[in-house]
Amino acid sequence: MTVSYRQPGVVLTDRHFTVPLDHDAPTGETIELYAREVVAGDKAHQDLPWLVYLQGGPGFGANRFVGKGAWLGRALKEYRVLLLDQRGTGHSTPANRQTLPLRGGPAEQADYLTHFRADAIVRDCEAIRREVTGGAPWTVLGQSFGGFCTVNYLSTAPEGLTAAVITGGLPSLDAHADDVYRAAYPRIERKVGAHYARYPQDVERARRIADHLLENDVVLPNGYRLTAEAFQSLGIVLGGSEGSHRLHYLLEDAFVRTPQGPALSDAFQEEVQGLLSYASHPLYALVHEAIYGQDARPTAWSAERVRAEFPQFDAAKTLAGDGPLLFTGETIHPWMFDCDPALRPLRETAELLAARTDWKPLYDSARLAANEVPVAAAVYHEDMYVDTAHSLATARAIRGLRTWVTDEFEHDGVRAGGPRVLDRLLALTRDEA
pLDDT digits (tens, 9 = 90+) for 355-380: 999 999 999 999 999 999 999 999 99
pLDDT digits (tens, 9 = 90+) for 69-121: 889 999 999 999 999 999 999 999 999 999 999 999 999 999 999 999 999 99
pTM score of the predicted model: 0.97
Q: Is 411 among the catalytic positions?
A: yes
* Catalytic choice (47, 322, 358, 431): 358
Q: Is 144 among the catalytic positions?
A: yes
* Catalytic choice (212, 288, 333, 411): 411
Q: What is the C-alpha separation between 229 and 222, in angstroms, rounded? A: 18
pLDDT digits (tens, 9 = 90+) for 202-247: 999 999 999 999 999 999 999 999 999 999 999 999 999 999 999 9
Which stretches in the chain have pLDDT values below 70? 1
pLDDT of residue 433: 80
* Catalytic choice (92, 144, 172, 302): 144
Could you tell me which CATH class the domain 3-174+363-429 is placed in? alpha beta
Domain-by-domain residue ranges, the chain? 3-174+363-429, 177-355
Q: Which residues contact 258 (CB under 8 A, 6 or more apart)?
A: none
